[in-house]
Structure 1
């Protein structure tokens, strides 16, 4: 299974990487699925510390309607605009001929 990923957002909090939240635009080349993948890692430092790691996938529309306009939202919108701008330029020029 091959995946193409582009990072949309990364946030790291804590004096020593204690919490990391990352979002990616992901494309599964086998199933031809395009979606957003979110990874959250939490590390409790100290003796007997624990590590929690969660990964969730969601539809692009669901991600865009998820609480607020984060850096990840803005990056995804930028990518979508660039993609459709290129497509409309090609479509527009083919209509002119």
Structure 2
């Protein structure tokens, strides 16, 4: 399975208790599926270095409907606008 990935957002907080959050736009070339993958990691250096990781996938529309406008939302909107940018070129359109 080949996955094409483009990072939308990454945030890392804290030196002793580290919290990392990353969102990635993913295209599964085999399944022909486009979705957003969110990975959240929480590492507590004081508790014997315990690490808790969660990964979730969601439909692009569901991701954009989430509350707030994060840097990930803004990057995805930018990519979508670029992808669907009208150029005024009608070549190749079916009549």
Higher strand share: 2
Residue segments in structure 1 that go unaligned for 5+ positions in a row: none
Report the number of matched residues.
92
The residue aligned with 2:87 is 89
Taking structure 2 as the reference length, the TM-score comes to 0.89
Runs of 4+ in 1 over 6 A off after TM superposition: none
Normalized per residue, the structure richer in helix is: 1
Match of 1:56 in 2: 56
Task: Look up the match of 2:67.
Answer: 67
TM-score, L = length of structure 1: 0.87
Q: Are residues 1:45 and 2:45 paired?
A: yes
For structure 2, the 5+ residue unaligned runs are: none
CA RMSD of aligned residues (A): 1.6
